[in-house]
Structure formats: structure tokens, C-alpha cells
Structure 1
Amino acid sequence: MTQNDKSSDPRPLWQWSATEIATATHRGALSASEVVEAALDRLDAVNPDLNAVVEVCVDAARAEAKALDASDAPKGPLHGVPVTIKINVDQKGHATSNGVAAFKDVIAPDDAPVVANLRAAGAVIIGRTNTPEFSFRADTDNPLFGRTHNPWGRHVSAGGSSGGAGASVMAGIGALAHGNDIGGSLRFPASANGAVTVKPGLGRVPAWNPSQTRERGLLAQSMSVQGVIARTADDLHLSMPTLIAADIRDPLHVPFPWTGTAPETPIKVAVSKNDFGFGLHQDVSLAIDRAASALTNAGYVVEEIEPPLVRETGEIGYRSLLGEVKTLLGPDIQEHGSDILQGIFDDYHKVFPPFEGTELVSMLGQRSRYARAWAEFMETYSLVLSPFLLQPFFAPARDTEGVEGVTEVLGQAHWSFVMSYLGLPAGNIPTHVAQLPYGPVPIGVQIAGQRWREDLIVDAMQAIEREIPPMCTTLWAQVMSECCT
């Protein structure tokens, strides 16, 4: 029997990767309907406890799968792969609530580009995933749908703002989960749940919500990106070429192929454990060492060296973003945000005082200075391996506990903000599970890459996974064994 035939693989279909599913559906060993039914069954089994998917698309998913099975058209690269969409992006006929009760009736007139691209590739949307209010927290909870829980346990946050996406994909609800990232919203939940992701760089994935009534600020346009959270690096190589397909509705999209020119080998990787004075937890240090060792064994040249202006770039970047957000989004948060969100927003400003007025305009101009310094550095070091967070992932609602809580959640996230502000691609991959007194916590590390070279980041993550198995195997075997058999 051939590899990935259902009859020869003892695993339930919900455990199959997107790559395995697509291979089987292309060969005719599996139908799209079989895969979708397995995903919907899994959703029914675990989502009531997790609250990751807040809108289930049962009838539409079954109809789409049936249409795929009946079609004689060429099969797309994601034929029959079940996916979820985050509720802050337009999906025709569905509410783009963004976790805000006041927006629960904002019905999308059409699909956003990322949704259209996934459909065109043959993916089947099975549901929409939770996000915090306005997608502006690193934890996922809101008055409209409630809290999303982490499949590793309720001792650790599911992350945010794509927390529903991270929890759902690691629990087996769909093989891919759409998310987006402006300051870390793909990478926070990937790290929290033990998933893999790559935050695309500036202009890579076309973006626009047909339901929107005004344009976003320039900094948001240049920092916010669309992507997916997956369980394996292979699935990123499968899915990301689909996401970057051009869409005329995004005039700033960069029509650059997924795979760039073959780099000179061996590829040099800079490793930094800079903790910016916060302290680096021993389990995070170990996770970096494990990633560095795997890359070395794969033939990469790994050197400990400090990239330029790291702390300054992160702080200036986040304070600039908060300045723009305070000006453009602040009134909406004051009018429609919960008391909890407004309190967190105020505490953000105490930790990272937002630039305003002339100072904000001046600081925005400095972005090119930082980007130039990093471009020169990455001419030699194509990849940069670093922590993502300096401590193991935080507890649910930690950011509601005043300045100290916000500092733990965002104050230690400089490595995230650096890549967001510069518009550089950055991946997150788990390499270790910290066995802490309150429970197991996966530890993700960050791998940043040259502009428009997401492919090199995913190559490196594949090399790491050849030594360190995907974290879903540990999760399903050790934590979710009762519901996964």
C-alpha cells in the first residue's frame, strides 16, 4: 500500500499534515469530503473546551468539499485541506467582528485576498477563529466570544492575537490556520501553542478587507501581514506560495516568487541571546542551543554575534506603532472597547510611551536607518536566530495585571517588534518543552531572514525538524492523549 493511503496509516485524519492530505487527495487516495468530515468531527470533540473556533462553517464546508470531489478541474496545491480563518479578515457573508461586540453585524461583502487565494488553491474553510478585541493583545479573550484556551492546558495563554488559530491547528481542528501579525500576532500564538509559522515580510501577501470603511495608517500598512500557522515547516512551503498570489486590490503587493535565487553556501546564521536586561530563562536558552545545534549539523555556519541596534529598533518601532494606533484607533477603543481592554491599552502606554506629533513623524523617518543597518548586516548573515520571548510563555490574562503584567507580556518581546518594524520576515519554531511546576510549556525560537526570503527561513526550520520532531507529537502523546485516541 502506498504512503498516506488511509488504509495504511493508523493515525486519524485530523492528525495528518496539510502536505500529507494534499498528497493523498491529489492521488485520489482520499476525497475532500472525507478529510473535511474528519476535521469537523475533531472540531466537535475538542472545540467546546478550547473555544478556538467561534463560528463553524459546517454546511458551506461540506458543500465546498463535495464540489471539489465532483470537479474535473485541475486540483490546486491545497486540494481538500481544511483551514480556518481569523475573524478579523473578510470572508464573504460572515461577520468581521474582530472580537468587538459593536462590529458583530459587519458582514463581509466579499473575500479578502488571503481568503480568495486559499479557496483558489482548493482549501476548504471549516470555521473562523477567535481573536482579542481589535486584535490588539497577545492573549485571546473578548466579551463577544470569551476566552480561547491553550491545548497544553489552562496554565498557559493561547497567545494572541491569532490565539484561536494557534490553538485550533495544534488541537487538530484543520491542518492550517490563517492568522495575521503586526507586532507578533502570528508568532505569539505559534510560540504559545507549539506551532510553526513564518511572518511574511513587507508586501508579500496581498491584504485588504472589502468591508473596511477607511484606510489604515501607513505604519500599520507596512507592518501588518497575513500568514498561516501550521504544525510543520513542510506545510509552510506548501501553503505560502498560495498566499502570495497577486491581488489587484492591494497596490503595495510585491510580485516576488516564493523561492528566490539559491544563496551562497554554507549559509551563515547569526545567533544572539540578548536579553535587554530582562534576564533569559534557562529553558529559552536551551531552546536556542537546540536550534543552533540542529542548524550546525545541517551544514549551516552558526556564529554568536550581535545584530545592529536591536533594543533601539524594537523600542522605537513599538512606540511608533502605539503612537499611530493611539491617534487612529484610540477613539474606537475608547468608544467600543471593554474596560479591560482600555486598561491594558493605558498600561501599554506606560511601558512603551507612544510617540506623538512631530516626534512621531521624526521617528518614522528613522525606520530607514534601522532597515539599512540590518540589510548590511544580513548581507553576511542571511538568518538571525534569537529568542522570541525571553521567558516561557505567560499565564492567561497576565496583561490585565497592571504594568508588571504588561511588561512580562510585551516588555520582553523586543525580538518580535524588531522584525515587525523593519518589515523583515521572521519564523517561529518550537524546539523544547519546559517542564515547569505549573505544567508543560512549549518554547519557540525566532528565525529572521533577509527581505523577501521567507523560503530560506522555512528551509532552516525544516532542517531543525529533521532533528527535533514537530511539537504536535509531544502534545498529542503527553497532554491530549485522552481525547486523541
Structure 2
Amino acid sequence: MRDATDLIRALQAGEMSSHDLMTQTLARIDAVNPALNAIVGMRPVDDILTDAKAADATPPKGPLHGLPIAIKDLAEVKGIRSTFGSPIFADNIPTADCLMVQRIRAAGAIIIGKTNTPEFGLGSHSYNPVYGVTRNPYDRRVSAGGSSGGAAVALATGMLALADGSDMMGSLRNPAAWNNVYGFRPSYGLVPDDPVGDTFLHQLSTNGPMARSIRDLELLLQVIVVPDARLPHSTPAFTPLPNVTTLKGLTIGWIGDWGGYYPMEPEILQLCEDALEQMRGLGATVKPFMPPIAPEQLWHAWTTLRSWAIAAKQAPLYHNPETRDLLKPEMIWEIERGLAMSAIEVHEASLIRSTWFAAFASQPDVDIMALPSAQIFPFNADLHWPDTVMGRKMDSYHRWMEVVVPASLTGLPALNVPVGFGAGGLPMGMQLIGQRGSDARILQIGQVYHGATDWPRQRAVKIKA
């Protein structure tokens, strides 16, 4: 499977046409998607091929000219059914693109449809009542993760070479880990969102790129990060750093399971430690790291701010009796918690967030933190979520993904890198987490690791088209 950068080079050099690439892409989708359900809401094939022919007949519009892409079904795309995985929006066809999609389209990409996601993106398992369950290509009996599960599966199987995702609570990192690809959660503010509603308070979720290589992550990131002066947290544009061949001078702080706080399958820790040993071989210093804050505090702050943010956005659906009955229980739980919170409770949660941000920013011992990207391997796809991990009862639908909170709570950049496969043949990944604004450095580190490992190519999905 060729990555997006290679495909675009071939298109620009005239070695292949956009029409040929699109024909191959559609054939691949026809062959593998029915069993996996990753790409949904497909446009009519004739319309897609017409767009590909038009791309061949016009000068390049931008860096993605002629490349097929499907957009995660949490983003509105003009003229394409955009459901958010909810029956409430099952027939929603937007009349305009959201800001991110505007930029992808302006860069010349050809949008063919959507990628599947859980209802409103809640939960790290991509199933919904509109399109059903997305399954893992390494074992169709288990989950593809979420909420960017459709995007991750499309990449892992070669149905797409490049994909967008979004990440509130690991929604890029978890499915990337479970599908042996890369997913990058940028620093909050780097990728601007639509400047509508409140743009100051909620800093938990961001869009970001997914791919089979680091250079492809950088390619899409440069397209979607153009600063927007209407947004108060917007940051300068992203510029990649030069490629290097060593990690010499880098100190990685390995958190592991945070001294036993996170229940976690032991094999996951071993795979991550093996990857860290490879990074040592590339010149990095790796040492145990205990963050200077209690993880229980992070969880309390996270669940408070998350429920508050979800309620602020989705309360109108809850207050309308006609739509409330169509919301899944997890959404109702989040909204009811958020509506019941006082301003002081939210303030106290944000104080914890502030303390954690300052503590990591001021510590001198490590450059980046490393954590597993998930606490368990992919679970039975017929379940909604795992209620126990290593014999420990999970008290909410998302507690089993608590390991992603340290980055999400404070908007830190976090890159999932593949670290190999467990004895059961399922993939796993590890988070590399840096200071806010260190996005280019994190990706530079990822490129060195990718050059030495290239797990997406080493253990590509074996599905015949």
C-alpha cells in the first residue's frame, strides 16, 4: 500500500491519473468494506469518477489534488449525508462544508463519502444505529476502536491513504493503536474549528490527521492548520522540522500504568517497553516517570469538564422530548451530569487542569511522556464497552480508556505510534506526549521511530481485493 505522499508525487509526475487512482480505490472499497463497515455515506460512483476526470483536466489546486478521501462522520460535508452516527440526523444533508472540510476540499482532495464513528463520537467503539458496527481488519470479531474507528480501518486496509479524525478522549489514538496506524492529536488551537458558538471555554476536543506514515500526518496537518483570527486559541501555522536520524538528547519519561493505578493488560506494557528499548537504540534516554499530580485528580477534573462541555453542546437535544428518546444512554448520562454541575464545580475542575498543565510544563526531567494508547486489546465488537479490565470494575462507559486523559485534559500534543502485536495477533500503540506547541518535534521523533520500525508496512492487513 502506497502512502499519500507517494501517490500525490505519482499524480503530479503523470505516472498515474486521478481517474485511475479513484478506480483502484473504489475497487478496494468494494472488495473489503462490506465486511468491515468503515466507509459509509458513499457518494454515487459516477459523480466520484466525474470529479476524478475533472481533476485530471485541471491544474493542481493544492497539495492533495486528485487524492481520494472520506471525512469522519462528525464533520459536516456539503451535499453528503452527515449523521454524527445519530438517528436524529439520519437524513441531514448539509448545504455547506465545515471549516476543516473547506480546507481539505480547497487542497484538491476528492471527497468520496464518510468514515464511521460512534453516535456523536461518544465511546471508543465505532457503532451506531444509523450505519452499524465497524470491525477490526485484524480480527473481524473485535472492535476497531473509536471514535475515529472507520478512518483507522480505512487506512489499515488501504481503502484510503489519508484520513481525518478527531480526538476528545483518545478518539484518534485508540483506533490508530488498534489498527496499526498513526494518529496525531495536535496541541489544542493548532487546528481551528468552526468559529461558531462559544470559542473560549471548551478546550477538550480537536481534529487531527491519521495515516500510515509520519510524512502523511504532516501533509494533512499543513492543510488543516491555517490560523483563523476569529478563534481566540488559534496558533501559528504548522511547519515540519527537518528529518533527523537519531533521538540523541531526547529524554522520554515512561509512565507505564502509573504505579498500578491504571488496570492494564500486562502484554501491552511489554510491547510498549520493547518499543522504548528500540528508541534507546536510536539514542533516546528512557527513564521511569511519575507525574507530579494524583491521577485521581485528573480523572475527576476530566469527567467534570467533559460532561459540562457535552451538556453545553447537546442539551437542546435532551430538552426536546422528540429527540431525547433517540439519544443513547451514555449521552443522556453525560448531559444530566453536566446540567447538574455548579459553576464552582467547573471552576475547581479547571484549577486541577491548570495545576497539571503548569506541573508538566515546569518539570525539567523529561522532554516527552510515554503511555500506552489503550489499557486493553480490542474487545468483542458485539459489546458496547468493557465493564471490567483485569478484574477491576469500570464505573462508567469510558473509564477503560482513562490512560488518554493526561494529554486530553490540558490540550497536549499526543502521537500514537504502533508498537507491534500481542500474542492474539491484535495491534497496540503507545502515546508520545509533549509540551503544548511541540507538535513538530513530536512528529520528528515519530519519523525517526517510523524509519526504524514501519509497523504499518511490516504487518499490513492481508485482505485480497
TM-score by length of 1: 0.85
Structure 2: gaps spanning 5 or more residues: none
Aligned residue number for residue 456 of structure 2: 471
User: CA separation in 2, counterparts of 1:365 and 1:229?
Assistant: 32
Aligned residue number for residue 5 of structure 1: none
Q: Report the alpha carbon displacement of residue 267 of structure 1 after superposing the two structures with TM.
A: 2.0
Q: Report the alpha carbon displacement of residue 114 of structure 1 after superposing the two structures with TM.
A: 1.4
1:21 aligns with 2:4: no
Aligned residue number for residue 277 of structure 1: 261
Secondary structure class of the residue paired with 2:417: strand
In the TM superposition, what whole-angstrom CA distance separates every residue of 1:400-421 from its partner, at most 9, and x where no partner exists? 5668775596324233112111
For the 8 Å contact 1:310–1:415, the answer to whether it is kept is no
- Computed over aligned residues only, the root mean square deviation of the Cα atoms, in angstroms, reads 3.0
Secondary structure class of the residue paired with 1:155: strand
Aligned residue number for residue 304 of structure 1: 288
Structure 1: gaps spanning 5 or more residues: 1-14
Aligned residue number for residue 7 of structure 1: none
1:46-85 equivalent positions in 2, closer than 5 A: 46-57=32-43, 58-73=45-60, 76-85=62-71
Q: Report the alpha carbon displacement of residue 49 of structure 1 after superposing the two structures with TM.
A: 1.2
Q: Report the alpha carbon displacement of residue 65 of structure 1 after superposing the two structures with TM.
A: 2.3
User: CA separation in 2, counterparts of 1:177 and 1:424?
Assistant: 21
Do the aligned partners of residues 173 and 200 (structure 1) sit closer, same or farther apart at CA in structure 2, a change above 3 Å counting?
same
Q: Report the alpha carbon displacement of residue 397 of structure 1 after superposing the two structures with TM.
A: 4.5
Write the letter of the residue equivalent to 2:292.
Answer: P
Aligned residue number for residue 99 of structure 2: 113
Residue range with higher mean Cα deviation, 174-183 or 280-289: 280-289
Aligned residue number for residue 10 of structure 1: none
Write the letter of the residue equivalent to 2:441.
Answer: L
For the 8 Å contact 2:69–2:113, the answer to whether it is kept is yes
Write the letter of the residue equivalent to 2:253.
Answer: A
Do the aligned partners of residues 323 and 398 (structure 1) sit closer, same or farther apart at CA in structure 2, a change above 3 Å counting?
farther
Pick the aligned partner of 1:133 from 115, 119, 141: 119
1:31 aligns with 2:10: no
For the 8 Å contact 1:286–1:432, the answer to whether it is kept is no
Q: Report the alpha carbon displacement of residue 185 of structure 1 after superposing the two structures with TM.
A: 1.1
Pick the aligned partner of 2:226 from 238, 241, 245: 245
User: CA separation in 2, counterparts of 1:54 and 1:237?
Assistant: 26
Residue range with higher mean Cα deviation, 388-397 or 282-291: 388-397
Secondary structure class of the residue paired with 2:217: helix
Q: Report the alpha carbon displacement of residue 283 of structure 1 after superposing the two structures with TM.
A: 1.7
For the 8 Å contact 2:87–2:326, the answer to whether it is kept is no
Write the letter of the residue equivalent to 1:435.
Answer: A
Secondary structure class of the residue paired with 1:56: coil
Do the aligned partners of residues 353 and 91 (structure 1) sit closer, same or farther apart at CA in structure 2, a change above 3 Å counting?
closer
Pick the aligned partner of 1:203 from 189, 198, 210: 189
In the TM superposition, what whole-angstrom CA distance separates every residue of 1:112-133 from its partner, at most 9, and x where no partner exists? 2211222222222222111111
User: CA separation in 1, counterparts of 2:340 and 2:454?
Assistant: 41
Q: Report the alpha carbon displacement of residue 344 of structure 1 after superposing the two structures with TM.
A: 7.3
Aligned residue number for residue 449 of structure 1: 434
Do the aligned partners of residues 397 and 454 (structure 1) sit closer, same or farther apart at CA in structure 2, a change above 3 Å counting?
farther
Aligned residue number for residue 6 of structure 1: none
Do the aligned partners of residues 88 and 222 (structure 1) sit closer, same or farther apart at CA in structure 2, a change above 3 Å counting?
same
Do the aligned partners of residues 126 and 347 (structure 1) sit closer, same or farther apart at CA in structure 2, a change above 3 Å counting?
closer
TM-score by length of 2: 0.88
Do the aligned partners of residues 471 and 314 (structure 1) sit closer, same or farther apart at CA in structure 2, a change above 3 Å counting?
farther
User: CA separation in 1, counterparts of 2:243 and 2:18?
Assistant: 35
1:22-421 equivalent positions in 2, closer than 5 A: 22-57=8-43, 58-73=45-60, 76-208=62-194, 215=197, 219=201, 221-247=202-228, 250-259=231-240, 266-275=249-258, 276-309=260-293, 311=295, 312-326=297-311, 328-330=313-315, 332=317, 335=321, 336=323, 341-342=328-329, 346=333, 356-377=342-363, 380-400=365-385, 407=395, 410-421=398-409
For the 8 Å contact 1:205–1:226, the answer to whether it is kept is yes
Q: Report the alpha carbon displacement of residue 431 of structure 1 after superposing the two structures with TM.
A: 0.9
In the TM superposition, what whole-angstrom CA distance separates every residue of 1:254-291 from its partner, at most 9, and x where no partner exists? 12433369999612221121344344323211221122
Do the aligned partners of residues 110 and 287 (structure 1) sit closer, same or farther apart at CA in structure 2, a change above 3 Å counting?
same
Aligned residue number for residue 445 of structure 2: 460
For the 8 Å contact 1:161–1:186, the answer to whether it is kept is yes
Secondary structure class of the residue paired with 1:270: strand
Secondary structure class of the residue paired with 2:128: coil
Do the aligned partners of residues 51 and 272 (structure 1) sit closer, same or farther apart at CA in structure 2, a change above 3 Å counting?
same
For the 8 Å contact 2:80–2:113, the answer to whether it is kept is no
Do the aligned partners of residues 282 and 406 (structure 1) sit closer, same or farther apart at CA in structure 2, a change above 3 Å counting?
closer
Write the letter of the residue equivalent to 2:57.
Answer: A
Do the aligned partners of residues 303 and 110 (structure 1) sit closer, same or farther apart at CA in structure 2, a change above 3 Å counting?
same
The count of residues paired between Structure 1 and Structure 2 equals 455
User: CA separation in 2, counterparts of 1:407 and 1:349?
Assistant: 16
Q: Which has the higher helix share?
A: 1
User: CA separation in 2, counterparts of 1:353 and 1:456?
Assistant: 39
In the TM superposition, what whole-angstrom CA distance separates every residue of 1:319-345 from its partner, at most 9, and x where no partner exists? 321234245525625753667821575
User: CA separation in 2, counterparts of 1:328 and 1:88?
Assistant: 14
User: CA separation in 2, counterparts of 1:60 and 1:115?
Assistant: 18
Residue range with higher mean Cα deviation, 35-44 or 244-253: 244-253
Write the letter of the residue equivalent to 2:461.
Answer: W
